[in-house]
Structure 1
Amino acid sequence: MSSGSTNDIQASLNERGGFHVWWRLLRPHTLTASFVPVFVGTMVAVVDRNGTIAFGLFLAMMLASILIQAATNMFNEYYDYVRGLDNEESVGIGGTIVRDGIRPKTVLFLALSFFAIAVLLGVYICILSSWWIAVIGSVSMMIGYLYTGGPFPIAYTPFGELVAGFFMGPVIVGIAYYIQAGVINWGVIAISIPIAICIGAIMMANNIRDRAGDEANGRKTLAILLGHEGAVTFLAANFILVYALTILYMFLGMLPWWSLISLLSAVHAIRAVKSFSGKGSPVEMMPAMKGTAQTNTFYGMLLGISLLISVFLG
């Protein structure tokens, strides 16, 4: 591709040089899937511990989760390039390799470095909680690598949303809760389900946007199996389930009535679904991707804040 065409793509995606090259490599719009579960799990523990929080463990868990997510994104960038799936026109990637000229080995090195730092943070967490966390964390990191690495990448199958939702929903929320409370219960697992659905929705939105290109490259994602309209309908149904569960949990006393504020995030969910409808090109669907990520961010943060409010205001 000519440099002019590459510049056109970068302009349409508002891609800039310098520091922004490395920031895009992290795929910041996806990092909401790493910090929201930690925040929610911790806030549930704060409620159960009557306002008590171990800030050191909270910060270590938050940073480790973000690092693992960022490293997973880098593995995605690296392996999609190695397999010839990304090019200068690809949308939704960091573009650091195919458009900015960053060496593939540099991206791989950074991913492994992020994993290494996450391991050190994990050791700190284990020392102050339980070494079983090391086992769960190791499995989570392996899944992060296998999501796009290895001979059978999970992201290329219909199970990408399910796997991502499970490990970044119940697993991360559960760990964040356990290292604060020292126990685990079914209540926090139930509360993690809407979070898991929101995170799976981010992956679904990504796959809806990339559906045509993924199908041409032989992938079998859920969005490909459902088709564009079917996938958008499925995404909408997932958002409805998130809010239905939230309301149910409030009636059951599992969440405080303050959690009604989390329903404000539905504005972004509606916007995301509408932005996908009738759109054909990946660039046109970028606002829908943003809206889906914002749904997770605002839902999770408002839910966590509602829990914190309930501690101090009842």
Structure 2
Amino acid sequence: MQTRIHTDSAPLLQDNKPNWRVLWQLTRPHTLTAGFVPVLIGTALAIQTSDINIPLFIAMLIACLLIQAATNMFNEYYDFKRGLDNAESIGIGGAIVRDGMSPSIVLRLALSLYGIATLIGVYICMESSWWLALIGLICMATGYLYTGGPWPISSTPFGEIFAGLFMGFLIILLSFFIQTGNVSTVSILVAIPIGILVGLINLSNNIRDLDGDKKNGRKTLAILIGREKAVSLLGGMFTVSYMWIIGLTAMGIVSPWVLLVFLSVPKAIKATKGFIGKTIPTQMMPAMKATAQTNTIFGFLLSIGLFISYFI
């Protein structure tokens, strides 16, 4: 039986699990699309009015993925330090509590990714505007403060709002701005449903963890309104996202091609139904996964619709 020792020299593997797999799971790869999709959508919007700077697109994409991965690592570190995670915890990377990785190594990895993202951000600012530095720093601070600091955002009813705003809505506008030099009304309107869907990933996580979070004194939105109402809110906001796209199309703001997003409706239905009547975290994992997949598929289809509308 293997003993886990959390020291700086602790191995990055357990039961012969290769190092790269431990590190990959630490990034929580199922969440990384939340960083990729907004960049793609912002760029797809920009191509309607401007030539695309490919190096800037790649730089923005890498920076957002690094920030998302680092945020997940901060989450892993601070939840462990606060005693919220254990070897049986669902939905975590598990590098510390299951694979014996030193907490200090996890923290240093997160800070290193932030450092690389900052250097990439300097390049982006040099090629666009230094005003982006302020917004980028706010986004990075939010990623850290989500679980770090004395009053973690994740323990409040505002986690969904912060996640949707800073990891969805603003990323689209930033990706659009670095290509065009401005922020248009269309980009703002198109960014809204993606901000909602990113926030719903957070809500689905809080629905799954409701009982454990309540025991640990958290005051998430799911806890405040109760599981049943939280699931209803999830389904209602899915509906708002799709109806928003219908509205934009009906008003001629975007091409009817963006209605391709409706191909993702089955995933949204699966996500909502998957939470109904469930109270055990493992039973809700498929629903949470479907929520993240809805954001991914919706975002990809929206991007495809925007690209098609440009080329046709």
* Aligned amino acid, residue 46 of structure 1: I
Q: How far off its partner does 1:169 sit?
A: 2.3
Match in the other structure for 2:27: 26
Residue-by-residue CA offset, 1:88-147 (whole Å, 9 max, x unaligned)? 111111111001111101100110000000001101100100000111001110111000
CA RMSD of aligned residues (A): 1.4
Residue-by-residue CA offset, 1:137-187 (whole Å, 9 max, x unaligned)? 011101110000000000100000001101122211110000001111222
* Aligned amino acid, residue 34 of structure 1: G
Task: Sort the Cα spacing of 1:83 and 1:45 in 2 relative to 1 into closer, same or farther, 3 A.
Answer: same
* Aligned amino acid, residue 21 of structure 1: V
Q: How far off its partner does 1:16 sit?
A: 8.8
* Aligned amino acid, residue 174 of structure 2: I
Match in the other structure for 2:215: 216
CA distance in 2, matches of 1:269, 1:155: 24
Match in the other structure for 2:303: 304
Task: Sort the Cα spacing of 1:107 and 1:257 in 2 relative to 1 into closer, same or farther, 3 A.
Answer: same
* Aligned amino acid, residue 144 of structure 2: Y
TM-score after normalising by structure 1 = 0.93
Q: How far off its partner does 1:277 sit?
A: 1.0
Q: How far off its partner does 1:3 sit?
A: 6.9
Match in the other structure for 1:181: 180
Q: How far off its partner does 1:17 sit?
A: 2.4
The answer to whether residue 51 in structure 2 is matched with residue 55 in structure 1 is no
Residue-by-residue CA offset, 1:232-275 (whole Å, 9 max, x unaligned)? 10000010000000000011122110011111111110011111
CA distance in 2, matches of 1:218, 1:3: 32
Q: Secondary structure at the match of 1:47?
A: coil
Percent identity over the alignment? 55
CA distance in 1, matches of 2:273, 2:307: 32
Match in the other structure for 1:115: 114
Q: How far off its partner does 1:34 sit?
A: 0.6
**Are the aligned partners of 2:122 and 2:133 in contact in 1 as well (CA < 8 Å)?**
yes
**Are the aligned partners of 2:69 and 2:110 in contact in 1 as well (CA < 8 Å)?**
yes
**Are the aligned partners of 2:35 and 2:168 in contact in 1 as well (CA < 8 Å)?**
no
* Aligned amino acid, residue 28 of structure 2: R
Match in the other structure for 2:70: 71
Match in the other structure for 1:12: none
Residue-by-residue CA offset, 1:207-235 (whole Å, 9 max, x unaligned)? 00000000000000001112111111000
Show structure 2 runs of 5+ residues with no match.
4-14
Superposition pairs for residues 73-222 of structure 1, below 5 Å? 73-222=72-221
Match in the other structure for 1:17: 17
Match in the other structure for 1:35: 36
**Length, aligned pairs only:** 300
Q: Secondary structure at the match of 2:94?
A: coil
CA distance in 1, matches of 2:17, 2:218: 31
CA distance in 2, matches of 1:20, 1:250: 43
Match in the other structure for 2:9: none
Q: Secondary structure at the match of 2:48?
A: helix
TM-score after normalising by structure 2 = 0.94
CA distance in 2, matches of 1:220, 1:205: 15
* Aligned amino acid, residue 219 of structure 1: R
Show structure 1 runs of 5+ residues with no match.
5-14
The answer to whether residue 229 in structure 2 is matched with residue 234 in structure 1 is no
* Aligned amino acid, residue 91 of structure 1: I
* Aligned amino acid, residue 308 of structure 2: I
CA distance in 1, matches of 2:121, 2:156: 29
CA distance in 1, matches of 2:72, 2:296: 18
* Aligned amino acid, residue 100 of structure 1: D
Match in the other structure for 1:245: 244
* Aligned amino acid, residue 154 of structure 2: A
CA distance in 1, matches of 2:2, 2:252: 59
Q: Secondary structure at the match of 1:283?
A: helix
CA distance in 2, matches of 1:118, 1:23: 18
* Aligned amino acid, residue 17 of structure 2: G
Q: How far off its partner does 1:279 sit?
A: 1.3
Match in the other structure for 2:8: none
Q: Secondary structure at the match of 2:281?
A: coil
CA distance in 1, matches of 2:17, 2:241: 38
Q: How far off its partner does 1:24 sit?
A: 1.1
CA distance in 2, matches of 1:287, 1:79: 25
**Are the aligned partners of 2:260 and 2:302 in contact in 1 as well (CA < 8 Å)?**
yes
CA distance in 1, matches of 2:195, 2:223: 21
Match in the other structure for 2:7: none
The answer to whether residue 285 in structure 2 is matched with residue 292 in structure 1 is no
CA distance in 1, matches of 2:292, 2:172: 18
Q: Which runs of 4+ in 1 moved over 2 A?
A: none
